[in-house]
Amino acid sequence: MIPILILAAGQSRRMRGADKLAEVVGGQPLLRRVASEAASVAPTFVALHHNAAARLALIDGLAVTPLLVAEAAEGQSGTLRGAVAGLPACDAFLVVLGDLPDITGQDMAAVIAARTAQPDALIWRAATPDGRAGHPILFDARLRPQFADLTGDEGGAALVKPLQDKTVLVRFDDDRARLDLDTPEAWAAYHARHN
């Protein structure tokens, strides 16, 4: 089994009071859309801050498992540390950022499929057409113990950087693997392009 872990515990600090995961994309809140897409592919877990009633409401009724992560207050490293520890036993796990508006279930499945095609790697990750690495990222379960040592707000970068020779890039046909929107202005521009 290869579960999907959606990181949705961030505080949207640059949104000046709004929650980017509640922004409407394709007729539904972003977090609900990403979780629905993931759940169509594999068992899905959603990492949330332990005080996350509003975000829990966004995924209510979906076939996903919320993981309330107390360590999320430390930033993305704490979220990853707590959430990866909460996943079931598995051969690999796919990490998806909850704020990528254009990532689809098909994209997630493509990254998971890359492991079968190139089984000698340890990391398989989405990328832009010109090879800039992005998300989602599939981690071999052999890396799981290293998540217990993550600190700071770099997330998994400290774990990923030394393993570039063991990383397979799955190139998408546009920049959606790196498109995350962190400010009201970025969201306004995105909505203007898609309406």
Beta strands at 167-171 and 123-127: parallel, antiparallel or unpaired? parallel
Quote the pLDDT of residue 150.
Answer: 87
Whose tokens are 């995924």? That residue is 59
Rounded to 5°, the CA angle 81-128-140 comes to 35
The Cβ of residue 84 has, within 10 Å, a number of other Cβ atoms equal to 25
Q: How far are the Cα atoms of 70, 140, 166, 168 from residue 180, in angstroms, in the given order?
A: 24, 25, 25, 22
Could you write out the DSSP letters of every residue in 46-60? Answer: EEEESS-HHHHHHTT
Quote the pLDDT of residue 31.
Answer: 95
Residues forming a β-bridge with 171: 127
DSSP-based helix, strand, coil % in the chain, nearest 5: 40, 25, 35
This prediction has a pTM of 0.94
Give the chain's domains with CATH numbers: 4-194 (3.90.550.10)
Q: What is the mean pLDDT of each run of 10 residues along the chain (195 residues)?
A: 92 70 89 96 92 89 94 85 94 94 96 96 97 96 93 80 95 93 83 79
Quote the pLDDT of residue 12.
Answer: 64
Quote the pLDDT of residue 51.
Answer: 65
Rounded CA separation 108/53 (Å) = 27
Q: How far are the Cα atoms of 57, 83, 114, 152 from residue 156, in angstroms, in the given order?
A: 27, 12, 20, 10
Contacts of 150 (CB under 8 A, 6+ apart): 77, 78, 80, 81, 156, 158, 159
84: enclosing H helix or E strand: helix 76-85
Quote the pLDDT of residue 165.
Answer: 95
